[in-house]
Amino acid sequence: MSHNPMPNQIAIAAIQQACSPDKAASLAVTEKLVREAATNGAGLIILQELHATLYFCQTEDTSVFELAEPIPGPTSKRLADLARELGIVLVGSIFERRMNGVYHNTAVVFEKDGTLAGLYRKMHIPDDPGFYEKFYFTPGDAQFNDGRSGFTPIETSVGKLGVLVCWDQWYPEAARLMALAGAEILIYPTAIGWDVTDDPDEQARQLEAWVTVQRGHAVANNLPVVAPNRVGTEPDPSGQTDGIRFWGNSFICGPQGEFLARADDRSECILAVTLDRNRSESVRRIWPYLRDRRIDAYGDILKRVRD
């Protein structure tokens, strides 16, 4: 039986876009950018969080549940068809209706033939002013029925993808567990922005914190990180605030946290880089963090607080 090894070089692209109240319009922009990235050679293309809709979590509104879809469903079928037509691995995002009363913020990964390689349901769910996600999303299962951890990489023809979502990006535990399970890339589809009334210094601190913590996950786990975010100002449907200005700044960094590509804070764009699958191995030989972990001393990490 012949064995076709994975290529050492992976051409990847991250899509940064603005979104529309019209799901069809948002998906049309997504498809246009995906086609352009594929034409330019990307074999793995990653979309931002909830790319088919506005970020609807600024308010709590039961009518929004009408946007949710099952998997498979119309949006997943469109993404699957696109992956198959273009021969790419595609990471998308769906507001998933799992059953009556159970909805998830779900990343989906489609293989080059359009099959569903796997999905990841967002584990950490925020509930902050303007980001009322606990109203809409049930956290992903800590363990699947077959015994796998919720933090399990998705196996694809371009490698094992450690797919997480937005608020997950602040948690070193999530990144570490994906790395320990063999993830070759950490992927964070994102929707994050500024309260437009915050002063520029506060906005700068928030943005730099977001970039820094994710580059830290790259360094601490010797893995590349891909973080696509949206752009554009989206109004608060309640009219009580001035809305959210999504800050873009999508980026791809290497296993030492080095920037490979970074977007600005306002443009729809495609970030494209080629990753060397051998790079993490070579970095781990000189910075062997995983060798020196003191797993015998970490028991208290499973406590909420240490009394």
* Catalytic residue list: 49, 122, 166
258, 79 Cβ separation under 8 angstroms: no
**What is the residue whose two structure tokens read 């891909």?**
226
Instruction: List strand residue ranges (DSSP E) for 188-230, in order.
Output: 193-195, 225-227
Quote the CA–CA distance of 307 and 305 in Å, as a whole number.
6
Q: Which two tokens stand for residue 65?
A: 């549940």
Burial environment of residue 178 by CB neighbours within 10 A (0 to 12, 13 to 18, 19 or more): buried
215, 186 Cβ separation under 8 angstroms: no
224 prior amide bond cis, ω within 30 = no
Backbone angles phi, psi at 143, to 5 degrees: -145, 135
In this structure, how many other beta carbons lie within 10 angstroms of the beta carbon of residue 272?
A: 18
Quote the CA–CA distance of 152 and 160 in Å, as a whole number.
9
Quote the CA–CA distance of 291 and 255 in Å, as a whole number.
16
The torsion region of residue 239 among left (phi > 0), alpha (psi -120 to 50) and beta comes to left
User: 43 CB contacts (<8 Å, ≥6 apart)?
Assistant: 10, 11, 12, 87, 88, 89, 112, 158
For residue 37, give the nearest of 28, 46, 24, 25 by alpha carbon.
46
